[in-house]
Structure 1
Amino acid sequence: MSCKSIGLPCVLSLAVSLAACGEKSSTAAASKTEATSPTVNVSSSNLYETTALKKIKLLENLMASAQQQKLDVTREETLVWFAKEFLNFANWDEQNQDAVAYMFNAYGPFKNDKDKLAAELPDFQRKKVIEILDAGIDELNQVISGEIVRPPVRKVDWQNTVAGDNMFVSNGKPIFLYDYFSKSVGQPLGQPDVYNDHLGAIYHGGENLYPVDHDRAINSFLLNEDGTWNEALMKEVTDISDDNIGFLIYWNMGLPEWIEKQEPEARKGRSLFTGFDIDNPLVRDVWGKIAKHTGELTKDKKVSRMGYILSNEPHYYSEKNGDRKHWSHQFKEMNDISSYTLNNFRTWLDNKYSGDIATLNKNWQTSFFSFDKVEIDIPIDISHRGKPMWYDWNRYHMDRTTNWFTYLQGELRKGNPDAHTSIKIMPNMFSENTRSHGIDVEALTDLTSMIGNDAQTREKRKLNFKKDEEWQSHYGWYWEELSTSYDFMESVSPNKIHFNSESHFLSASWWRDMDPSVEYVHSVYWLATMQGMDANLAWFWARDPDGSPEDRLEGEMNFFDPALAGSFAGSNNQQPHISNAFTQVMYDMNSLSEEIVALREQRRPIRLFYSETSAINKPRHMTEHFKMYEKIFFDGFPVGYATQNIINKQDNSSWDAILVYKTEFVTADELAALQSYLDQGGTVIVDSALSLSKNEYAQPHAKALKASKGKLIELNGKADEAELREVALKAAESGLPDLVLTEDNGTSYKGVNWRVVKQADGSYLANLNNLGKHTAKLKLTLKDGSQVSAKDMLTGKVLDSEFELAPKGVLMLEVSVK
């Protein structure tokens, strides 16, 4: 489930989407195939369905012809499957318009037009089926004629895929796993219309197993008050079929009554998806026992091969703005804190200040007699931001959450020492400015054995925004949250499997579009995978095989998280072109998985210095930082991050320079890490005298960086991001790619993100992804001016050294020197 959202904004109409579908072109396409398609025994009352069925037959005939030539038609098999499914769905929607209108009514932006949308939906889906069939017929004709040569699809071996060192492996090669996180609740695991190559076939003890009001998967109710186990509930975990690989999730929502009776404070300081106080001793004891025992029981099961997700979207927003509450406040999130949390904070402060209460009082402007008398109002008002009390609370708040997950993982590994773990971290915990949420993305990414998240993107602006967002002026879709967070997490843990266990690329709480583009789907999945994603579970598949919504979405939809009720409307469940595109792009990437992994291992020559200290203290630190990140995102290499821990733990030769940008506040330890890098001969670029000038309490540092054995480039603060980029590129010149891509899209903003790696035979692999709003004119050369030629690895077509790439266009190239 997702919580990124609460409220009811503007209204969209499906009429525009239907117009965009092109009724004229669909009718023309129907007449085009009339002569060559066999007669179909179906009522002529529905032209669109008749046309679609004829096109399915035509495509199936082409597939038979292709197979006779031993050509791979896996892509077409999936296309036909989706076409037939959505024709079935369209008929169900047509016969159940009241039920469909009810689904549209559950989503605020569609509420006022629910009846109109429900009436238009069946033919919208039929037209989209025709569109994907036309595209499929055209492509397969090109394959048969030899005009394009596609790499054969590598299917996932759902039974035997294993977790390797830093990737999932299927039949000896890397594989990118795909499925849906929530999947037709009420349908059994293994139901062939729900678990197959088209929709994915990963098993998990999650939402597909349990009724609406039951705390799902591994939960607090497994342990009885007398210390025995609820064996009936435990079987719902241990009896999961061992046919396919999967994962298990810790569902932290509920608490049994016996815990609350023994511990009246057990729910104080709860959050939206963690329904209890993580500092409560009884809660910790119960969950420790549950983690250890379920680890023991499931350690040899296939359902644990993708690991244990320790939490669903943890966050503990603890701020307010005067009388204005944070959106999470209505869900009882951090409305107050327990005595356990307060006492732990007091101990933390005692250690932080080395027992000197006078210094705390000076910093906080208080007069506490001792640390055990310290008080704080939570949620804390943002008027304190930038002051010592704000820093101390938010730093402690992150530390206590990290402590909770360290304990939970430790208990799990007492039962299953080899357990893979991840946490479904919301990447906006890193990319957005707020830091009162208690989530230290670096620490949690470092803690678990897999990188976990549920990144989201969008092709258009959020529906609760009244005007366009800034990115829309330059880019085809919103990639900031995805890219900054993925580059950060991959910088922290470069050798871990990366599991997005709830990808919100197709829809999210505040982003929905009835007719997103297929090109967008291709672009976003290519970028996410190129930035490290090894497995993703899309949100969400909620159609039963007969076309009806899943069990949870029938009848009264009264969910604790209101986002779930509206999730069906305007989702991929009503979009044949998008559902098909998701699987097709995964097929494409898995056909070139070894090449993608080689590109992902490209070095990160420039590192942006990241300080959680500045992020906590500054109101817009991440907004400022993105401007610098954006400037070096389109230069042919992955952006890297450096932190105190990255510098201290990793091989410093993995990069050529660290760029410090608008980072005023750093601790003494952070400053010391940068100095140690200089002492080893590293290069540090500092944008101004203001950066690195103050400690966590806004006090001037007694020491400043010295060049030592390295190179310290200190600028005067007047250089803009473009000038800083030039300084950084020069400092890292020796580590930049030999291949050069020149882009002209008619604007001052670059749009093509690209990566390149040299192969053993002297050729290069290159991935190009046009995130820009405009068509890009591109030219490929080598640094020394040598000319090159390129071949599109997905079509076999040869490109000149100069070519164009449309917005959201993606190319995977093999580049040879002429």
Structure 2
Amino acid sequence: MNRTLLRFAIGGLALLGLLSSHNPCFSDDTAVASASQTLVKEALAKIGTLETKMAEAEAKGIDVTREKTVVWFAKEFLKFADWDEKNRDAVAYLVGQYAPYKEDSDKLAAEIPDFQRIKTIEILDNGIVELSRVLGGEIVRRPVNKVDWQNIEVGDNMLINSNGRPVFLYDYFSKSVGRPLTDDRVYNEHLGAIFHGGENLYPVEHDRAINSFLLKEDRTFDQDLLNEVTGISDTNVGFLIYWNQGIPEWVEKLEPEVRFGRSTFTGFDIDNPLVKEVWGTIARETGVLTQGKKVTQLGYILANEPHWHSIASGWTRRTGEMQQISIYTLNGFRTWLHKKYDGDIERLNKNWESQFTSFDTVAIEIPIAAQTRGTPMFYDWARYSMDRAIDWYAHIQRELRKGNPGADTHIKNSTHLFTDNDRAHGIDLEALTELTSMIGDDAKTRPTRRSYPNKLEAWEEHYSYCWEELSMSYDFMESVAPEKIHVNSESHFLSASRWRKLDTSVEYVESVYWLATLQGMDANMAWFWARDPDGSPEDRLEGELNFADLALAGSFAGSVNQQPHIANAYTQVMYDLNSFSEEIIALRQQRRPLRLFHSETSAINKQNHMTQQFSIYEKLFFEGAPVGFATANIIKNQDNQTWDAILVYRTEFVTDGELESLQSYLDHGGTLIVDSENSLSQNEYGERHRKRLNPSNGELIILTGDESLEKVRDLAIEHTASGRHDVTLAEDNGGDHKSCHWRAVKRADGSYLVSILNLGKNSAELKLGIKSQSSISVTDLFTGKSVSSEFNLDSKGVALLEIYTQ
């Protein structure tokens, strides 16, 4: 049974052609008004029908939490549609802020009100059909494990509800700026109720985000701004954010270079001593003032999307990012180089092909030329840039914990900085994940290609959406920190600055949230909710839009705020995930039998390292077990018995320390598969390693380098077979490229729990089995009904099954 079909595959209404020619009935204002009134009447009638069925269900003791949300969104979006219809010019202005929609902004503004009404009718139809099936006994669904927002416990590796069950939290990161956190029209079970200091971010000195403007030159606090932090309601679970975009004028007067080396969301030099003092004081004192509050249960976010892109480019020049570095940064680099080269300036000169007389005279041009990638100079700068960022966040966290020793922390890391090939951005995802007590990110997926440049992308050949960044980064971070709570504090699964889809499918929403949660996500705040309760845009989006972050102005158009089916789908899938929270936890708390070796050394030096790594990761992703990663630190700090083998693939450059970690793994009996003699052959500067690995007490398998990806995959699976379950899944999707991501776990009673997500663009014919068993019985947990072991799963379909041997 396809979960998507159960909830959403109900037809009957044609979608509005937003960019196609209008139906003739919309050719004049009178006809439009008449058609709109008809849609409103139809929606109101369906609300009445659903409410009647809800009363019948409640009388029979059936949970109707899902239907209450359908009705709530239906009423809200009918109101939103009315506002948009009455304020067409304002809507057209907002739509025009998103460049791909600009040319059609007036047309879209005219169409969007009835589009929302049609989609509202659609979610009501779906709700009526599903509840009718429940009432008729066709399906048996679990009650929703509702979030008790006021009584969440932060466990070692999961969030616990007041009933003792795991729970996955949901909300919107930025939500109705200008609304108080006590407004239950915005903070409720439908939209989520995480209280936080994460919205109201523009202008930078405003409202609840903790920022540089809190501290005055006399080192006292601005009490009005401080009250915005200390006055946050302490009713519900929440988080606080350190917002680093601005710097007070008094600091700039004392330190004229304080903005040198700034980036988009870090508006100052992190090497500046005065900045370190200011932010150390702010972190320490806000830690004291907020200690023990529920609004810090999900931690302190130490930064919003940090990065320091230092390769010369047009966009960094336009935004002013890393266009020069301060004397503090340069001197820090000199000190770092002195230590790295053991004080040997001649060795640096040889590597850099330079003639510096001492480390005190070393100079470097920043932004650095892209052509230098692969040279020792580039490696040294890229590695230093990562290390200085680690030092900065270690400093902020250390000062925070002086004021609040038990403070949980995470960083909103942009995970594409890990999965992309570029490495001149200053972010070491492993180190920052190790540093903080929670995993933090703002990973994104896309059901469409980027709006610019609008060209064919590789994933479109096989898949229904682009999942690479989400999955690869999540498996990596969960491998680095398997016992930490995972918070995506700005999930871009519904829209992002470079993609928008006005008629996003509910199937996509369901699939991506199942995928992210299966891969470790415990809490997520979607981007973004910008409607006030009367239907008008939030305060920031009224009037002329002029933001430092240019993407914000265009974020409203085509977002969840104009798509009732997507707003409803988001909440509904979180209800479903919470209904099966214990099953989800069981599925994701498995051994990762195979680990891919990851080296930032190769990632820095090579033009296409992460692309190569994804090619083998992709082959392993659809083989029924979670993919793991190993690094030098993981090998050193984690129990090596939690995996069966490590695979090294296209990893030519490693430091002496990385090579030693792999030898230590072999010394302790590990199995290491290396794709060729070329891997692990050179150090960070391209010099041949004098030492080579030897099997020692383990097994060292070195391939020829001519093997196909499929051959490497099959060999890796063969050497980890003993650590894999006995469930089998045969897939036929019409091609030779697998697309169903699945996991299985054996339970205490001998049954198996199986999840399957079809990420492919085609439907898949599937056949489940268990090794050495000729007959099995299968139950669809979404419906409570027995199903065949052979079934079809549609593109973006989700299945959760229980298997027993007969």
Q: Structure 2 CA distance, aligned partners of 1:430 and 1:383?
A: 21
- In structure 1, the residue matched to 2:229 is 237
- In structure 2, the residue matched to 1:265 is 257
Select the residue among 250, 254, 276 that pairs with 1:284. Answer: 276
- In structure 1, the residue matched to 2:498 is 510
Amino acid at match of 1:150: R
**Per-residue displacement from partner, 1:79-112 (whole Å, max 9, x unpaired)?**
0100111011111111110111011111100000
Q: Structure 1 CA distance, aligned partners of 2:440 and 2:562?
A: 28
Shift of 1:209: 8.2
Shift of 1:216: 5.1
- 1:250 correspondence with 2:242: yes
- In structure 2, the residue matched to 1:122 is 113
- In structure 2, the residue matched to 1:8 is none
**Per-residue displacement from partner, 1:398-426 (whole Å, max 9, x unpaired)?**
00000000110000000001000000000
Distance 1:668 1:145, change over 3 A: same
Sequence identity, in percent? 63
- In structure 1, the residue matched to 2:196 is 204
Shift of 1:15: 5.7
Amino acid at match of 1:319: I
- 1:640 correspondence with 2:628: yes
Q: Structure 1 CA distance, aligned partners of 2:384 and 2:93?
A: 45
**Per-residue displacement from partner, 1:696-738 (whole Å, max 9, x unpaired)?**
0000000111111111110110001100001101110101111
Alignment of 1:371-770 (within 5 A): 371-770=359-758
Shift of 1:785: 3.6
- In structure 2, the residue matched to 1:6 is none
**More off after superposition, 206-215 vs 400-409:** 206-215
Distance 1:656 1:209, change over 3 A: closer
Q: Normalised by the size of structure 1, how large is the TM-score?
A: 0.94
Shift of 1:792: 1.5
Paired residue secondary structure (1:570):
coil
Paired residue secondary structure (1:499):
strand
Q: Structure 2 CA distance, aligned partners of 1:810 and 1:699?
A: 49
Paired residue secondary structure (2:731):
strand
Q: Structure 1 CA distance, aligned partners of 2:265 and 2:75?
A: 37
- 1:307 correspondence with 2:308: no
- 1:189 correspondence with 2:190: no
Q: Normalised by the size of structure 2, how large is the TM-score?
A: 0.96
Paired residue secondary structure (2:108):
helix
**Per-residue displacement from partner, 1:319-348 (whole Å, max 9, x unpaired)?**
02xxxx252332221101000000010000
**Per-residue displacement from partner, 1:157-213 (whole Å, max 9, x unpaired)?**
111112111111111111100000000001111211101000001111232487676
Whether the 8 Å contact between 1:523 and 1:810 is mirrored in structure 2 is yes
Whether the 8 Å contact between 1:186 and 1:209 is mirrored in structure 2 is no
Whether the 8 Å contact between 1:216 and 1:251 is mirrored in structure 2 is no
Q: Structure 1 CA distance, aligned partners of 2:731 and 2:722?
A: 22
Q: Structure 2 CA distance, aligned partners of 1:681 and 1:485?
A: 28
Select the residue among 76, 79, 91 that pairs with 1:100. Answer: 91
- In structure 1, the residue matched to 2:206 is 214
Amino acid at match of 1:262: L
Whether the 8 Å contact between 2:19 and 2:108 is mirrored in structure 1 is no
Amino acid at match of 2:73: F
Alignment of 1:312-323 (within 5 A): 312-320=304-312
- 1:82 correspondence with 2:87: no
**More off after superposition, 643-652 vs 456-465:** 456-465
Select the residue among 329, 333, 336 that pairs with 2:321. Answer: 333
Q: Structure 2 CA distance, aligned partners of 1:540 and 1:68?
A: 36
Number of residues of Structure 1 aligned to a counterpart in Structure 2: 784
**More off after superposition, 223-232 vs 664-673:** 223-232
Amino acid at match of 2:119: K
- In structure 1, the residue matched to 2:4 is none
- In structure 1, the residue matched to 2:140 is 149
Shift of 1:16: 3.1
**More off after superposition, 164-173 vs 533-542:** 164-173
Alignment of 1:160-171 (within 5 A): 160-171=151-162
Q: Structure 1 CA distance, aligned partners of 2:637 and 2:358?
A: 37
Q: Structure 2 CA distance, aligned partners of 1:333 and 1:733?
A: 49
Distance 1:560 1:92, change over 3 A: same
- 1:112 correspondence with 2:103: yes
Coordinate RMSD, CA, aligned: 1.7
- 1:360 correspondence with 2:348: yes
**More off after superposition, 462-471 vs 583-592:** 462-471
Amino acid at match of 2:630: A
- 1:275 correspondence with 2:267: yes
Select the residue among 780, 793, 805 that pairs with 2:781. Answer: 793
Q: Structure 2 CA distance, aligned partners of 1:204 and 1:211?
A: 17
Shift of 1:576: 0.3
Paired residue secondary structure (1:760):
coil
Q: Structure 2 CA distance, aligned partners of 1:700 and 1:343?
A: 30
Shift of 1:356: 0.4
Q: Structure 2 CA distance, aligned partners of 1:91 and 1:250?
A: 38
Whether the 8 Å contact between 1:424 and 1:452 is mirrored in structure 2 is yes
Whether the 8 Å contact between 2:465 and 2:759 is mirrored in structure 1 is yes
For structure 2, the residue ranges without an aligned partner over 5 or more in a row are 1-14, 26-32
Paired residue secondary structure (1:72):
coil
Amino acid at match of 1:737: H
Shift of 1:466: 3.0
Whether the 8 Å contact between 1:543 and 1:550 is mirrored in structure 2 is yes
